[in-house]
Amino acid sequence: MRRVAALAVLTLLAGCQSRAPLPAPKGVASIDFCADQMVLGLLPEQRIRAVSFEADSDTSFAAPRAAGIVRLRPQLEDIARLRPAVVVRSYGGDARLDRQLAAMGIKVVQLGFPASLAEARADMLRVGRELGAEREARARAASFARELAAARHSPPKGTALYVTPGDVTTGPGSLVAEVIEAAGYTPYRTAPGWGSLPVEDMVRRRPDAVFRAFFDSPRYQQDHWTSSRHPVVARATRGAREAEVPGAWLACGNWLMGHAVTELAKAK
């Protein structure tokens, strides 16, 4: 009995011992590919506590800007250990993460999922305000608007066929279709939304331009059996104007889409 009582007292005393205070949360951490782009594009390096491991697959934008910055997985334990003041996310982490981080006093900035170029611009400005980076966000938005305005001055150029390593293309109603239209083209695919590369249609109707993306990314290695290697596609696209952009320019709704518009608009 005495032994049990002694153990109870020791347990109580241990619970009463003062603990060293946790360090104050600081800095901003991004936990997925699109959040990395936004954070690296709007904030100075000294404010960035960590980026996601996906930053390394964004070879055209995030990776060169993230050199020397800590990499972070979108898991509560890893985030809690790092103690950022703000977490920026798009799709990273599970559905409970916002509530869990809020309970720890960590602010969450959720990126939107823009369905148009206008929505992409609005989301940049909103996120910039939430991150205390309004000046940089306005500068990015202004540059984005200038690229779109410059492309609008060019005459209509015909159809542009969007080609990806997985043979996925797009028609009216998608954000990539808006990029195509902003560059002065009409999407080659006439059906709305997304679908497979229309090889049979290309026998009868050739595109005026070919717009390629994601062929640079190690995440989207091209299959040697892909339809984009088909002889019919090669014949149909011979002589067409060509533009190829890094997949990172189209993966997320932000200012990088303006670069894609510019590149397609000047295709030769």
CB-based contacts of 244: which residues, under 8 Å, 6+ apart?
Answer: 211, 212, 213, 215, 216, 263
Q: Do residues 181 and 261 share a domain?
A: yes
Q: What is the pLDDT of residue 136?
A: 98
**207 and 159 Cβ atoms separated by less than 8 Å:** yes
Q: Do residues 153 and 235 share a domain?
A: yes
Q: Do residues 49 and 94 share a domain?
A: yes
In a domain, 131, yes or no: no
Looking at the 3D structure of the chain, how many domains does it have?
Answer: 2
What tokens were used for 62? 């995030």
**151 and 261 Cβ atoms separated by less than 8 Å:** yes
Q: What is the pLDDT of residue 225?
A: 52
Q: What is the pLDDT of residue 2?
A: 42
User: Would you say residue 24 has pLDDT above 80?
Assistant: no
Q: What is the pLDDT of residue 69?
A: 97
Q: Do residues 162 and 252 share a domain?
A: yes
Give the phi and the psi of residue 192 in degrees, each rounded to 5: -65, 155
Q: Do residues 99 and 186 share a domain?
A: no
Q: What is the pLDDT of residue 13?
A: 42
Q: What pLDDT, in 10s, does the model give residues 44-71?
A: 999 999 999 999 999 999 999 999 999 9
How many whole angstroms separate alpha carbon 181 and alpha carbon 194?
16
Q: Do residues 99 and 181 share a domain?
A: no
In a domain, 128, yes or no: no
In a domain, 103, yes or no: yes
Q: What pLDDT, in 10s, does the model give residues 194-243?
A: 999 888 888 889 999 999 999 886 665 555 556 666 677 778 788 899 99
State the CATH number of the domain containing residue 257.
3.40.50.1980
At 212 the three-state DSSP class reads strand
Report the number of secondary-structure helices (H) and strands (E) in the chain: 12, 11
How many whole angstroms separate alpha carbon 105 and alpha carbon 89?
16
In a domain, 10, yes or no: no
Q: CB atoms < 10 A from the CB of 34, how many?
A: 25
In a domain, 255, yes or no: yes
* Mean pLDDT, range 81-102, rounded to an integer: 94
Q: What is the pLDDT of residue 154?
A: 76
Q: Do residues 236 and 171 share a domain?
A: yes
Q: Do residues 105 and 154 share a domain?
A: no
Q: Do residues 181 and 83 share a domain?
A: no
* Residue 226 burial (10 A CB sphere; 0-12, 13-18, 19+): middle
What tokens were used for 218? 């190690």
Q: Which domain holds residue 250?
A: 147-265
Q: Do residues 161 and 223 share a domain?
A: yes
In a domain, 141, yes or no: no
Which of 9-18, 175-184, 212-221 has maximum average pLDDT? 175-184
Q: What is the pLDDT of residue 22?
A: 62
Beta strand pairing call for 48-52 and 71-72: parallel
How many whole angstroms separate alpha carbon 87 and alpha carbon 118?
25
In a domain, 100, yes or no: yes
Give the phi and the psi of residue 91 in degrees, each rounded to 5: -110, -10
Q: Do residues 33 and 95 share a domain?
A: yes
What tokens were used for 182? 């902003």
Query: What mean pLDDT is reported for the chain?
Result: 88
Give the phi and the psi of residue 266 in degrees, each rounded to 5: -100, 10
Domain end: 92, 111, 130, which one?
Answer: 111
Q: What is the pLDDT of residue 100?
A: 94
User: Would you say residue 148 has pLDDT above 50?
Assistant: yes
Share of the chain above pLDDT 70, in %: 86
How many whole angstroms separate alpha carbon 126 and alpha carbon 114?
12
Q: What is the pLDDT of residue 8?
A: 47
Q: Do residues 175 and 261 share a domain?
A: yes
Distances (CA, A) of 35 to 2, 73, 162, 254: 58, 13, 25, 10
In a domain, 9, yes or no: no
pTM of the model: 0.86
